[in-house]
Amino acid sequence: MTQETTKFRIAEVRVTPILISDPPLLNVQGVHQPYTPRTIIEVVTEHGAHGLGETYGDADYVRVAEAFAPDLVGAGLGVNGLYAKVLASAERVQVSDLDNRVYAEGLRGSRTLPKVCHSVVSAFEVAMLDALGHELGLPVHALLGGKVRDRVEYSGYLFYRWAEHPGPGEPSDDWGAALDPAGVVAQAQRFARDYGFTSFKLKGGVFEPAQEVAAIQALHEAFPGQPLRLDPNGAWSVPTSLEVAAALEGIAEYLEDPTSGTANMAEVAKKTSLPLATNMCVTSFDEIPPAFASNAVQVVLSDHHFWGGLRATQDLAAVCRTYGVALSMHSNTHLGISLAAMTHVGATIPDLRYACDTHRPWQTEDVITEPHTFTEGALTVSDGPGLGIELDRDSLAALHRRWLDSDVRGRDDAAAMRRVHPDWVTPQLPRW
């Protein structure tokens, strides 16, 4: 595409699929598996500077990442135009069952080859920015135009959950079950005590809406005046969404994906003053114009894994700003590399109005030497070189070994649910 004249050349690229343990968190599709796959990217420059990136680890993401990795050797650290290169690599190796059609629907919205490529780009882009930061002795935020805040706020991500996975020897923790409003409040209280979170999001779509509304109301009583959100992942019909909205006006700061699809979201939005947020019906740039034209969403939950990286997240912020739509940040199960990336880009966006989501407190494993600790519900953005993190090679090797020893190559929350409820099928939406 262009002569590579940059002074920093990539000498080595490593793609390492891993499996990380995950608690039995419930959602509309089922329950989190004991182990979920992630892909870890390392780039190393000729000068020996390292960069780290992280993305989804389902088999198709790994295949595309592995197809692209050799093409990056010898290239510079410029990140513009990466998408076209990743797409070309994916097409060259004939990732034949992936194409432009939607081939999966799920919690990440519809899955297509372009979307998988954007997610793969995100990991390489972050790794390249991290490496460039190490080359220059500059933090990633400085490579993104500079931070406008020193700390990035996160919200406590509450889940209905079981006490433990059903299988023997599967990962466990001491959180216990949370299956009713009291359990949710107890979880929030521990989150507030341990990490100082002052806003909370509850993953819904698990129980009947009345129970989930009661949980939010109980949170509101326990944490009066503090921002609360509920996200049933599109589980509700339009009328149900409106009932919930009516019950939570003045209590919730927004409802996240109450119903599925832009048209339904627009219908709900028309009849409630509660803002609607999404990470399901607006997950790529081409989904923006119809959603904004119909005023279907008032808050877009960015996710650099969806949108193609940190610069793409800034692009998304610009589009949202232009159209008067708020921006916050979505999270999927992730490790410290992505949390560092989220914090750096979050620090650069002037109009980040809501606390960002993160699954991080639920992950007990990591691949970095000093996992982040939330204080007062926020992380201080690192001013050290790159992302400000260091790879824990032993941990990476152990989690990769787990991947090699396992046949888990994707995430299937419905299958995990069937281990306990053999009749479970992924619910048709709307469920309620």
Q: Tell me how far CA of residue 179 lies from CA of 88, 187, 203, 354, 394, in angstroms.
A: 46, 11, 12, 27, 36
Give min distance, CB of 6 to a copy of itself, in A.
Answer: 6
Tokens of 294: 């119909």
Nearer residue to a copy of itself within complex by CB, 202 or 300? 300
Give min distance, CB of 337 to a copy of itself, in A.
Answer: 20
Identify the residue among 188, 288, 337, 387 touching a copy of itself (CB under 8 A).
288
Tokens of 68: 């692209």
Identify the residue among 74, 166, 167, 289 touching a copy of itself (CB under 8 A).
289
Alpha helices in 251-379 (DSSP H): 262-270, 288-293, 304-307, 310-322, 336-348
Among residues 118, 165, 203, 305, the one annotated as catalytic is 203
Segment contacting a copy of itself (CB under 8 A): 64-72, 99-107, 135-143, 158-166? 135-143
Among residues 115, 304, 330, 334, the one annotated as catalytic is 330
Alpha helices in 24-112 (DSSP H): 59-72, 82-92
Sign of CA dihedral 239, 241, 244, 250: negative
145 binds a copy of itself (CB under 8 A): yes
Segment contacting a copy of itself (CB under 8 A): 143-151, 164-172, 357-365, 409-417? 143-151
Give min distance, CB of 247 to a copy of itself, in A.
Answer: 33
- Residue written as token pair 């297509």: 112
At CA 323, angle to CA 317 and CA 326, rounded to 5? Answer: 50
149 binds a copy of itself (CB under 8 A): yes
Rounded to whole angstroms, the Cα distance separating 243 from 116 reads: 35
330 a catalytic residue: yes
Which parts of 232-251 interact with a copy of itself (CB under 8 A)? Answer: none
Nearer residue to a copy of itself within complex by CB, 98 or 316? 316
Give min distance, CB of 166 to a copy of itself, in A.
Answer: 45
First to last CA, the chain: 50
142 binds a copy of itself (CB under 8 A): yes
Which parts of 317-336 interact with a copy of itself (CB under 8 A)? Answer: 318-319, 321-324
Asked if residues 340 and 350 have their Cβ atoms less than 8 Å apart, the reply is no
76 binds a copy of itself (CB under 8 A): yes
Of the candidates 347, 346, 344, 343, which has an alpha carbon nearest to the alpha carbon of residue 360? 343
376 binds a copy of itself (CB under 8 A): no
Give min distance, CB of 96 to a copy of itself, in A.
Answer: 27
Asked if residues 304 and 310 have their Cβ atoms less than 8 Å apart, the reply is yes
Identify the residue among 48, 70, 74, 137 touching a copy of itself (CB under 8 A).
137
Q: Tell me how far CA of residue 41 lies from CA of 301, 305, 333, 352, in angstroms.
A: 24, 13, 17, 28
Number of residues that bind a copy of itself (CB under 8 A): 45
Rounded to whole angstroms, the Cα distance separating 21 from 7 reads: 40
Largest CA distance in the chain: 61
Identify the residue among 5, 94, 100, 428 touching a copy of itself (CB under 8 A).
5
Identify the residue among 105, 112, 272, 285 touching a copy of itself (CB under 8 A).
285
Rounded to whole angstroms, the Cα distance separating 395 from 203 reads: 29
Q: Find all residues with CB under 8 Å of 137, minimum gap 6, and list them.
A: 385
Nearer residue to a copy of itself within complex by CB, 136 or 222? 136
Segment contacting a copy of itself (CB under 8 A): 114-122, 148-156, 188-196, 245-253? 148-156
203 a catalytic residue: yes
Nearer residue to a copy of itself within complex by CB, 6 or 426? 6
78 binds a copy of itself (CB under 8 A): yes
| E strand map for 156-251 | 156-159, 200-203, 228-231
84 binds a copy of itself (CB under 8 A): yes
Report, as residue numbers or ranges, the catalytic residues. Answer: 203, 330
Residue numbers of the site for a copy of itself (CB under 8 A)? 1-3, 5-7, 76-81, 84, 136-138, 141-150, 285-286, 288-289, 293, 311, 314-316, 318-319, 321-324, 348-350, 383
